[in-house]
Amino acid sequence: MDAALAEMILAGGRVAVSAGRAVRVDLKIRGGRIERVGIAGCRTDQSMDVSGCLVLPGLINAHDHLAFNLFPLLGKPPYANATEWARDIYRPDESPVREHRSVPREVRLGWGGLKNLISGVTTVGHHDLDKFGRGFPVKVARAGWAHSLAFTPDAAARRARTAGDRPFVMHLAEGTDAESAAEVFEADRMGTLDVIVHGVGLDASGWRLLKKRRAAVIACPVSNLFTLRQTLGRGVFSRGVPIALGTDSALTAPGDLLDALRAARSVWKLPAARLYRMVTSEAARVLRLCDGEGEIRKGGVADLIVVRDAGLSPAETLLGLTRVEMAIIGGKIRMVSEKFRRYAGEGFQRLTVQGRGRVWVDADVAKLYEEAVTRLGTAFKLAGRWVRIKWNR
C-alpha cells in the first residue's frame, strides 16, 4: 500500500454529516477510504490536529474545460446562443488565442486542475477528450460526452459507445432563442439526452421532458450571465430535475467553484442547503459518482476538505468560504495552507492565487508557471486571478 495512504486521523474538528449539521468527531482514514467516523479518543501518531476546523466533503465541479483556464474572457456578448459565441471567438491565429494555444496543452490542463484544487474541488467534470494520470491535481469524472448538437455530428454514436453506468454529458439549450429551446427535443429523438449543460433556453415542455427521461442539468450561471446575459430562472429548481453546479472555463466565466456558488446564491436566492448539495451529493448523483464522493460516510472514498470553522452550518460555511486549508483526495493530502504546512508532503510547491491565500500543492508548480510565463508573460491569470509562485524551490 502507498505509504501516503496508510492511515491518518483528522482529530479535534467538526465533521459535516449533512448540509445543515456537523458533529465533533474524529475521522479515521485508511487505504484511501473513511474507515471510521467516531468519537474522539482513537488518536495515534498519525493524528492530525484539525481543531478549529470543519471537515467537508471534497467539492464536485460538474463542468469545466480544464485546458481553457488561462484564457481571458472572449467575445462581445450578448449572444442569442453559444454557437454564435463560438463562431465569433474562433480566431486561432489572432492574439490572444494564438499565444494561449502555444502553451502546451498539458500545461494548460495542469493549471485547470490547480484552479479546481485550490477552491476545494476534488472531482471535476471535464468536457473534452484528454486523459489524466494519478499525478493530476484533482480527480476527473468519467463520462461520455459530446460538445453540442451543432459541433458534434456523431453525438448518437458517442452516446451508444458510453457505458450504461456513466453519464453522457452535452452542452444543450445554451441560448435564449427558439433554436436553443428546440435542442432538447432533437437530442431526445437522437437518443442522446442524459445530462445537459446549461439548459437556459428550455421552456416548460423541455423541463417536463427532462423529468420524464430522468435527465439532469449542470448549471453554469457565471458563464451564462457573460455570454447570454441570462441564466436559468429560479423556478426550474422546483421542477424535480437534479441540478448540479459547474464553473465552465475562463473563456466565459472568471472565477472558480466558490465564486460560482456565490453567484448562484445571489442570482437564485436558493437555500444554502440546496446550493451545498449542488456541489456535493446532488453533483455526485448527476455525474454518477458512486464511491462516496460528495458525502462523508464510513466506507466512502476519503475526498475531503478542511476549512476554518466559525460555528456555522456546513452549507453556510461553504457559501462564505474563500480559503481552503487542506484538500485530501483518495486519502492523500494534495494541498495544505500555511496553517497546515507541517503536513505538506515531499515535493509540494508553493502557490499563491489572488484571493485564495498561499498554499502548498502536490504539483510541479514552478514548471507550470515557467511554461505559462514564457508564452504569456508574468501578468497571466488563472480564471481571472493573478498567480505567484516561489521561484527558488
Least CB distance to Zn ion at residue 247 (A): 9
What is the distance between the alpha carbons of residues 365 and 369, in angstroms, rounded to a whole number?
A: 6
The residue at minimum Cβ distance from Zn ion is: 248
Q: Which amino acid is at 160?
A: A
- Strands of the sheet containing 22-23, edge to edge, are 22-23, 14-16, 53-57, 304-308, 326-329, 332-337, 358-361, 349-353, 385-389, 381-382
Let me know the angle formed at the C-alpha of 301 by 299 and 307, rounded to the nearest 5 degrees: 115
* Residue type present at position 11: A
DSSP string, 213-251: TT-EEEE-HHHHHHHTS----GGGGGSS--EEE----TT
- Euclidean distance between the first and the last CA atom of the chain, given in angstroms as a whole number: 29
Question: Which of the ranges 4-12, 246-254, 328-336, 381-389 carries the binding residues for Zn ion, by CB under 5 A?
Answer: 246-254
SS3 for 303?
coil
If binding means CB under 5 A, how many residues of this protein chain bind Zn ion? Answer: 1
Q: Which range of residues in 29-37, 44-52, 80-88, 245-253 is near Zn ion by CB under 5 A?
A: 245-253
Asked whether 360 and 117 are in contact (CB, 8 A), the reply is: no
Which cell numbers hold the place of 145?
Answer: 460526452
11/279 with CB nearer Zn ion: 279
Q: Which of residues 72-111 bind Zn ion (CB under 5 A)?
A: none
**Shortest Cβ 227–Zn ion spacing (Å):** 10
Q: Name the residue nearer to Zn ion (CB basis): 122 or 224.
A: 224
The mark string for 255-294 relative to Zn ion (x by CB under 5 A, - otherwise) is ----------------------------------------
Per-residue binding letters, 204-243, with Zn ion (x by CB under 5 A): ----------------------------------------
Binding segment for Zn ion (CB under 5 A), chosen from 10-18, 114-122, 247-255, 280-288, is 247-255
Q: Return the number of the residue (253 or 353) whose C-beta is nearest Zn ion.
A: 253
Cα R_g (the chain), whole angstroms: 20
Q: Which residue, 62 or 315, has its beta carbon nearer to Zn ion?
A: 62
Question: In Å, what is the CA distance from 375 to each residue of 49, 71, 187, 233, 371?
Answer: 42, 12, 40, 40, 7
Nearer to Zn ion, 248 or 256 (CB): 248
Q: Which of residues 152-181 bind Zn ion (CB under 5 A)?
A: none
Nearer to Zn ion, 50 or 217 (CB): 217
* In the complex, minimum distance from the CB of residue 82 to Zn ion, in angstroms, rounded to a whole number: 8
Report, in Å, the least distance between residue 68 CB and Zn ion.
Answer: 9
CB 65 → Zn ion: shortest distance, Å? 6
Question: Is 283 or 302 the residue whose CB approaches Zn ion more closely?
Answer: 283
List all residues 6 or more positions away from 266 whose beta carbon is below 8 Å from its beta carbon.
none
Provide the binding-site residues for Zn ion, judged by CB under 5 A: 248
